């Protein structure tokens, strides 16, 4: 196991794709310290920016202590092992991740799990915009894996999502599930407007308040429970809406009936 401590407060973006269990495994502490990272436009060695401590236990585990909110792309394309961060972390955490687990005991910036295909990312704080979403101009969203956020998330969580699951235990900003094609988004508290805009498939579950449902969704029924995962169901009742009809969509939007009495007028269409 390797433990990292930032040697200073970073003022410039740090690009640290080499902070990845696969890059560390089998290397001596000297070799790990020589791995390349970028500080702004300057190439650095890992030991120039982080204190590195080694535990002789032979497992692909990395622990980071400290505020690394400027450090980006930790765990990019990670396939195995575990990264645990005690502090805030920067953009693109777990980008294109394929396996293993990343845990953050703090907040994470935008594009957590961007285009991920497998593995698990768990944030014990808030997350920024574009959770699990691709870069602008791309439609290759999350293809698998699981993202869990215990706090709030900002805009476009799960945009272009195809497979996998996103669980948000706080609130979600607008456009959750934008152009979603598959998978599941679970929001335990409130969601802002335009949920599921342009979605063609997949499932979104909102257990809190939603001000309005897009007019391009049609009500289909009322459900007592909704399956989130194999061993987990959300207890309703929920209004079930289908859409987005502008995309000839078959997406399912479940909205808590109890928390949204203003949506009761839809019941006359059942």
Percent pLDDT > 70 in the chain is 99
CB 87, CB 37: distance < 8 Å = no
pLDDT for residue 86 is more than 70: yes
Domain chopping of the chain, boundaries:
110-269
With a cut of 70, say whether residue 46 has pLDDT above it: yes
CA nearest to 62, candidates 32, 82, 87: 82
Write out pLDDT tens, residues 170-181: 999 999 999 999
- The pLDDT score that the predictor gives to residue 67 is 94
Q: Can you tell me the distance from the alpha carbon of 179 to that of 183, in angstroms, rounded to the nearest whole number?
A: 12
Mean pLDDT of 133-155: 94
What is the C-alpha to C-alpha distance for residues 160 and 119, in angstroms, rounded to an integer? 18
CA distance 124 to 45: 30
CB-based contact 143:116 (threshold 8 Å): yes
Q: Which residues contact 35 (CB under 8 A, 6 or more apart)?
A: 18, 23, 45, 46
pLDDT at 58 over 70: no
Task: Kindly report the pTM of this predicted structure.
Answer: 0.95
Question: Tokens standing for 57?
Answer: 């236990």
Which residues, in sequence order, are bridge partners of residue 252?
A: 203, 242
Mean pLDDT, residues 95-115 taken together? 97
- Tell me the CA distances in angstroms from 211 to 85, 179, 261, one per residue in order: 35, 20, 10
Query: Does pLDDT of 20 surpass 70?
Result: yes
């Amino acid at each position: 196991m390797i433990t990292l401590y930032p040697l200073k407060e970073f003022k410039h973006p740090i690009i640290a794709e080499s902070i990845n269990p696969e890059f560390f495994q089998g290397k001596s502490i000297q070799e790990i310290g020589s791995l390349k990272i970028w500080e702004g436009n300057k190439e650095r060695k890992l030991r120039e920016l982080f204190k590195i401590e080694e535990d002789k236990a032979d497992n692909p585990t990395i622990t980071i202590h400290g505020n690394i909110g400027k450090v980006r792309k930790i765990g990019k394309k990670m396939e195995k092992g575990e990264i645990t961060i005690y502090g805030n972390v920067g953009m693109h955490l777990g980008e294109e991740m394929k396996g293993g687990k990343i845990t953050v005991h703090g907040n994470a910036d935008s594009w957590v799990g961007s285009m991920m295909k497998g593995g698990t990312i768990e944030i014990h704080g808030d997350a920024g915009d574009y959770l699990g979403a691709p870069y602008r101009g791309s439609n290759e969203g999350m293809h698998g894996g699981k993202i869990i956020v215990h706090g709030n998330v900002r805009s476009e969580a799960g945009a272009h999502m195809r497979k996998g699951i996103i669980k948000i235990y706080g609130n979600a900003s607008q456009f959750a599930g934008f152009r979603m094609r598959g998978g599941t988004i679970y929001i335990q508290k409130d969601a802002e407007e335009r949920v599921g805009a342009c979605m063609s498939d997949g499932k979104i579950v909102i257990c809190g308040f939603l001000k309005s449902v897009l007019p391009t969704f049609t009500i289909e029924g009322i459900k007592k429970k909704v399956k989130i995962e194999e061993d987990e169901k959300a207890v309703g009742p929920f209004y079930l809406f289908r859409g987005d009809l502008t995309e000839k969509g078959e997406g399912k939007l479940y909205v808590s009936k109890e928390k949204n009495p203003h949506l009761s007028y839809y019941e006359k269409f059942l």
